[in-house]
Amino acid sequence: MPATVAANASNDVQGISCAICCEKKKPRRLHMLCGVCESSDKKSCLECWAKLLHNCDEIECVALHLKCPWCRTLMHPSELNASALSGSNAFNRVAAKLRYEHLCNLLHEREDNVDMLNHAVDVISGQSNLASMSAQQQHTRLQRARSRLQNADSFLNAYDGFTRFRRRYPRPSDRRNIARVATDFQRIAFEQAGGGVDELEQVDASVDGHDS
């Protein structure tokens, strides 16, 4: 027992080397944060542990991460928060720098997303620098663009149906017969619904133009 006490007293005076930086430290200033490694010769100072902190590659992750330099095990955030490193001066210095870097990355990501969105809206609406216009001007031009896109969507849908109809009935005579049958059905529907003469004339006109 006296020999053990003497050894401990000697260590307190001379210090023990940090396993990472190899500087002499008091035993109470050396820590083993990893729950997998248990060897006492791998204890390191908080300054060295703090240098191992890093941000996640995922931009949406705001947690700080630390991987054991000995076994390469990634510490769980709850384990890291409960360790002697969390809240220490060494941790706060490094964490503040890493948080600032992550915040800058978030701002750059937001700027890229806004630029991409503005460019996409400019292309779709057919307007340039739409974001620099007033709210009323933006509203007017976007409503016009919506109207054009809706008309284009209606046309493409009708054209798709027309081309499928032509492929299914390649002979013009077959298409005319089918169109006349469809006209008869529409005529009956208009008559039962009390439709006027103008609507019937529009149906007849559409059938005449369907032969081409």
d(Cα 181, Cα 174) in Å, to the nearest integer?
Answer: 11
CB-CB contact of 118 with 131 (8 Å): yes
Per-residue model confidence as pLDDT tens digits over 22-57 = 999 899 999 999 888 877 788 999 999 999 999 988
- At position 67, the amino acid (one-letter code) is K
CA distances from 88 to 24, 29, 84, 150, 188 (A): 19, 11, 7, 60, 86
103-120 in b/e form (b: 16+ CB < 10 A) is: eeeeeeeeeeeeeeeeee
d(Cα 41, Cα 212) in Å, to the nearest integer?
Answer: 90
Per-residue model confidence as pLDDT tens digits over 73-126 = 999 988 899 999 999 999 999 999 999 999 999 999 899 888 888 888 888 888
Each as own residue / partner, the long-range contacts of residues 88-97 (CB below 8 Å, 24 or more positions apart, any chain) are: 88/46, 88/50, 89/46, 90/45, 90/46, 90/47, 90/49, 90/50, 91/46, 91/50, 91/53, 93/50, 94/50, 94/51, 94/53, 95/53, 95/64
> What is the band of 189 on the pLDDT scale with cuts at 50, 70, 90?
confident
Residue whose C-alpha is closest to residue 31's, from 23, 21, 42: 42
Q: What is the pLDDT of residue 30?
A: 92
Q: What is the pLDDT of residue 11?
A: 47
